[in-house]
């Protein structure tokens, strides 16, 4: 049976991925508490937890493994649940319901991230643009515009598709940085001709994240995607930068514990964060 989700109109937003989480909060938006006029329940904070590639079959497998057929995962005990389809579409396809709609049932993390962050279906490898390359606003961008404080926390490189889907726009998910290349960033099948490098859709994702201020807190992996210019841009916006993209010094637990200020940027590995299995296999 499908259940309705209460409308949450006041929240703080962060994204954390693979696990990735998105969080949004009410700091700075107290006035929004009083003007909905609709009587909906309001949340002080919203935390969006995402397991990359986790569909219903994975949830079922986890339930069976840990709680048995008649058991429930903690998230299955929540009073409201909702679902979103994350299939892809072919390049240049219209949206569902259009005469030019061409679905692709095999999705990737980028098109899936676009589905849940922007509400549109797009082609595999695209981030927060539709199937014809039009930039689509993300939930985190809208929350930020409304005055919410936001954050993005990930076990992956923060420039990778799932975490990046909330705070960047790209024709090709491989355009991560630190440097631009035609091969990684352009998609002539969408645009016909190469876009100027000033176009946000071909700007390296690391460059966008370091400059657009979409997330107030950014924690994860992917230090190798950022450089000295990115560090300068972050500090100019008031971020406390843990570790250093300039020297490629990763952030540490101690750095995080002593972090101050309302904007924090910390990357704890040059690539994805080390998974628990790898730690067990190589404890040193």
Catalytic sites, residue numbers: 109
CA distance linking residue 79 with residue 85, whole number of Å: 21
Please answer whether residues 50 and 13 qualify as being in contact, where contact means their C-beta atoms are separated by less than 8 angstroms. Answer: no
Nearest CA-CA partner of 163 in 17, 54, 274, 12: 17
Beta-carbon contacts of 202 under 8 Å, excluding residues fewer than 6 positions away, are 170, 171, 175, 180, 185, 186, 195, 196
CA distance linking residue 171 with residue 130, whole number of Å: 9
CA distance linking residue 127 with residue 96, whole number of Å: 18
Please answer whether residues 269 and 279 qualify as being in contact, where contact means their C-beta atoms are separated by less than 8 angstroms. Answer: no
| Cis preceding linkage at 178, omega within 30 | yes
Helix (H, G, I), strand (E, B) or coil at 253: helix
CA distance linking residue 169 with residue 126, whole number of Å: 8
């Amino acid at each position: 049976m499908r259940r309705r989700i209460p409308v949450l109109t006041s929240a703080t937003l962060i994204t954390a991925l693979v696990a990735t989480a998105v969080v949004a909060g009410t700091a700075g938006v107290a006035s929004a508490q009083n003007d909905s006029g609709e009587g909906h329940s309001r949340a002080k904070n919203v935390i969006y937890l995402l397991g990359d590639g986790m569909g219903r079959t994975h949830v079922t497998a986890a339930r069976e493994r840990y709680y048995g057929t008649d058991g429930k995962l903690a998230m299955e005990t929540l009073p409201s649940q909702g679902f979103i389809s994350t299939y892809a579409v072919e390049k240049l396809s219209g949206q569902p319901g259009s005469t030019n709609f061409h679905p692709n049932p095999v999705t990737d993390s980028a098109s899936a991230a676009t589905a849940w962050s922007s509400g549109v279906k797009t082609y595999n490898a695209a981030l927060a643009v539709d199937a014809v390359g039009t930039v689509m606003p993300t939930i985190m961008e809208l929350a930020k515009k409304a005055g919410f404080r936001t954050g993005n926390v990930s076990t992956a490189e923060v420039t990778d598709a799932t975490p990046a889907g909330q705070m960047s726009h790209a024709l090709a998910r491989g355009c991560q940085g630190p440097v631009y290349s035609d091969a990684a960033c352009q998609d002539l099948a969408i645009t016909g001709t190469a876009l100027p490098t000033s176009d946000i859709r071909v700007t390296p994702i690391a460059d966008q994240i370091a400059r657009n201020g979409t997330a107030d807190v950014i924690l994860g992996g992917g230090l190798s995607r950022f450089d000295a210019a990115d560090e300068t841009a972050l500090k100019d916006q008031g971020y406390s930068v843990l570790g250093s993209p300039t020297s490629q010094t990763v952030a540490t637990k101690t750095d995080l514990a002593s972090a101050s200020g309302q904007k924090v940027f910390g990357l704890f590995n040059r690539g994805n964060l080390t998974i628990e299995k790898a730690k067990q296999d190589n404890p040193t």
